[in-house]
C-alpha cells in the first residue's frame, strides 16, 4: 500500500508550540516511529452542512470513536471538523486549510458531488488519503487515485426496503391503505436534494418495489424538500389542501421530511392519517415510530459508516491493510435495515 512520505520526525507543518510537543512525543515514541508513522494522527473532516440531523449525528459518532480509539490504543488522534454550510467554495477553503495544517487523512462529505475531482487531485498532490462519505462521487473520480475511498450505503437498497414496508402494509391490510377502495395506491413523494444519489434512487426504487409487488400506484405529487423538516411540512400542507384524504401514502426520502409531514398532519386534525415512511432511523424518527405516527423507516447506519472511516484512517496512517470489507479497492458499503414498531426495540437499544 502506498503511503504518504512525510516523515514522522519532521512535523514541520505545525505551529511552534505544537511542534515542540510533537518532537517530544516523537522522541518518546521513537520505536513506534520506526515504521514511518507520525506521532499523532490528524484527521480533517469536512461536512456539507452541520445543519442536517443525520450528518450532525455522524459527526458526534466520529468524535466518540476518536475518544474510544485514543483510550484503546494510547495513540493521539486529533479530529478537526469543518461545517461547509452548504457552500462548495467554503468547503474548498476548508480542505485547503486541512492540507496546509498537515492533516494525515481527509474525510469529505461533499457539498456538490461534482467537486470531487478537484479535491481528489489536491489530496493526491499532498499524498493525503481521502475518504468521501455519504455524498457519493461518480466512479471516475473515486478511481483517480488508489488512496481515495467512499464509505456509504447503497441508496437503491434503502429505496427497495422502504417500498417493501409499504407493500407489506398493503398486503396485510389493504382496506386500511386503499381508502377510496379503487385498488390503486395514491401517493405523494417528499424528495431530498435534487441530484443527490439518495434522492434519485430512493424515489425510483421505493415505487418500483411496490409496483414489482403487483400493486398499481398513482403519483399525486413529488417535490423536493431538501432533506429538511420545515420544507417537508410546507409541501405536505399544500398537498393536504390540494388532495385532502386522497393521499394514501407519504413516501419521504428521509426522516426529517417525514417528521415535517407529521408536523403538518398534527396541525390539521383529521380522523385518519396517510401511511408515512422515511429513511435514516434518527432518534426523533424512532420516537415517531413508537408513537404510531411514522409507520416505518429504514436504518441508515451512520455509526457503522463512521466506524469504517475511522478504521480506514487508522490503518492508512499505520501503513496496515484496512480491516474493512473493501469493494473494488475503494468502496465500503454498510447495509440498510427496515424498522417498524415490530423490531423497534433493536434500534432503541443502539
- For ligand GAL, which stretch binds (CB under 6 A), given 48-56, 81-89, 215-223, 307-315? 48-56
Binds ligand GAL by CB under 6 A, chosen from 38, 39, 104, 198: 198
Q: Is 280 in the site for ligand GAL (CB under 6 A)?
A: yes
Q: Smallest gap, in angstroms, from Cβ of residue 159 to ligand GAL?
A: 11
Q: Smallest gap, in angstroms, from Cβ of residue 19 to ligand GAL?
A: 37
Nearer to Ca ion, 82 or 275 (CB): 275
Q: Is 154 in the site for ligand GAL (CB under 6 A)?
A: no
User: Which segments of the chain does DSSP mark as H helices, in order?
Assistant: 16-28, 30-33, 53-73, 88-100, 116-126, 139-142, 155-172, 174-177, 197-212, 229-243, 255-267, 283-290, 302-318, 344-348
91, interface contact from ligand GAL, Ca ion, none, CB < 5-8 Å by kind = none
Q: What percent of the residues of the chain are helix, what percent strand, and what percent coil, each to the nearest 5? A: 50, 20, 30
Q: Is 177 in the site for ligand GAL (CB under 6 A)?
A: no
Nearer to ligand GAL, 50 or 89 (CB): 50
Nearer to ligand GAL, 164 or 196 (CB): 196
The answer for 329, left when phi > 0, alpha when psi is -120 to 50, beta otherwise, is left
198, interface contact from Ca ion, ligand GAL, none, CB < 5-8 Å by kind = ligand GAL
Contacts of 149 (CB under 8 A, 6+ apart): 129, 130, 131, 132, 142, 312, 326, 330, 331, 332
Q: Smallest gap, in angstroms, from Cβ of residue 220 to Ca ion?
A: 10
54, interface contact from ligand GAL, Ca ion, none, CB < 5-8 Å by kind = ligand GAL
Nearer to ligand GAL, 77 or 130 (CB): 130
182, interface contact from Ca ion, ligand GAL, none, CB < 5-8 Å by kind = Ca ion
Contacts of 238 (CB under 8 A, 6+ apart): none
**Dihedral through CA 27, CA 30, CA 34, CA 36, nearest 10?**
-30
**Under a CB-based contact definition with an 8 Å cutoff, are residues 311 and 322 in contact?**
yes
**Under a CB-based contact definition with an 8 Å cutoff, are residues 105 and 319 in contact?**
no
Contacts of 48 (CB under 8 A, 6+ apart): 55, 84, 86, 91, 109, 110, 111, 134, 135
Nearer to ligand GAL, 129 or 192 (CB): 192
Binding mask 61-100 for ligand GAL (x = CB under 6 A): ----------------------------------------
Q: Report the 10 Å Cβ neighbour count for 267.
A: 11
Beta bridge partners of 108: 46, 132
Binds ligand GAL by CB under 6 A, chosen from 8, 41, 45, 55: 55
Residue with cell 487515485: 145
Q: Is 206 in the site for ligand GAL (CB under 6 A)?
A: no
| Residue 187: closest CA among 272, 232, 252 | 252
Binds ligand GAL by CB under 6 A, chosen from 227, 251, 317, 331: 227
Interface positions, 134-153, toward ligand GAL (CB under 6 A): 134-135
Q: Which set of grid coordinates corresponds to residue 250?
A: 407519504
Binds ligand GAL by CB under 6 A, chosen from 91, 252, 293, 300: 300
Number of residues in contact with ligand GAL under rule CB under 6 A: 12
Q: Is 251 in the site for ligand GAL (CB under 6 A)?
A: no
* Residues at the contact surface with Ca ion, assessed by CB under 5 A: 178, 180, 182, 184, 186
Residue with cell 518518546: 28
- Binding footprint of ligand GAL on the chain (CB under 6 A): 52, 54-55, 134-135, 196, 198, 227, 254, 279-280, 300
Amino acid at each position: 500500500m502506498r503511503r504518504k512520505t512525510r516523515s514522522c520526525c519532521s512535523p514541520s507543518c505545525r505551529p511552534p508550540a505544537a511542534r515542540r510537543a510533537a518532537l517530544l512525543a516523537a522522541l518518546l515514541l521513537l520505536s513506534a516511529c520506526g515504521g514511518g508513522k507520525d506521532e499523532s494522527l490528524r484527521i480533517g473532516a469536512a461536512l456539507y452542512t452541520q445543519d442536517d440531523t443525520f450528518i450532525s449525528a455522524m459527526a458526534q459518532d466520529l468524535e466518540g470513536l476518536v475518544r474510544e480509539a485514543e483510550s484503546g490504543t494510547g495513540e493521539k488522534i486529533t479530529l478537526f471538523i469543518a461545517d461547509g454550510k452548504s457552500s462548495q467554495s467554503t468547503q474548498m477553503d476548508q480542505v485547503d486549510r486541512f492540507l496546509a495544517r498537515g492533516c494525515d487523512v481527509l474525510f469529505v462529505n461533499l457539498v456538490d458531488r461534482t467537486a470531487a475531482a478537484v479535491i481528489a487531485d489536491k489530496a493526491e498532490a499532498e499524498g493525503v488519503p481521502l475518504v468521501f462519505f455519504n455524498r457519493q462521487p461518480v466512479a471516475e473520480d473515486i478511481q483517480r487515485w488508489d488512496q481515495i475511498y467512499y464509505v456509504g450505503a447503497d441508496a437503491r437498497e434503502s429505496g427497495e426496503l422502504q417500498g417493501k414496508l409499504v407493500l407489506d402494509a398493503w398486503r396485510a391490510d389493504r382496506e386500511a391503505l386503499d381508502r377510496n377502495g379503487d385498488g390503486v395506491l395514491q401517493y405523494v413523494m417528499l424528495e431530498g436534494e435534487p441530484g443527490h444519489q439518495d434522492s434519485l434512487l430512493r424515489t425510483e426504487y421505493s415505487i418500483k418495489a411496490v409496483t414489482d409487488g403487483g400493486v398499481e400506484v398513482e403519483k399525486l405529487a413529488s417535490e423536493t424538500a431538501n432533506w429538511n423538516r420545515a420544507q417537508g411540512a410546507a409541501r405536505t400542507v399544500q398537498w393536504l389542501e390540494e388532495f385532502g384524504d386522497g393521499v394514501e401514502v407519504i413516501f419521504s426520502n428521509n426522516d426529517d421530511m417525514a417528521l415535517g409531514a407529521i408536523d403538518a398532519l398534527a396541525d390539521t386534525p383529521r380522523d385518519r392519517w396517510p401511511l408515512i415512511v422515511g429513511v435514516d432511523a434518527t432518534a426523533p424518527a424512532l420516537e415517531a415510530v413508537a408513537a404510531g405516527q411514522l409507520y416505518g423507516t429504514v436504518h441508515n447506519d451512520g455509526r457503522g459508516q463512521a466506524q469504517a472511516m475511522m478504521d480506514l484512517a487508522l490503518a492508512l496512517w499505520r501503513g496496515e491493510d484496512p480491516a474493512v470489507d473493501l469493494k473494488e479497492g475503494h468502496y465500503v458499503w454498510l447495509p440498510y435495515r427496515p424498522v417498524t414498531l415490530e423490531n423497534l426495540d433493536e434500534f432503541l437499544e443502539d
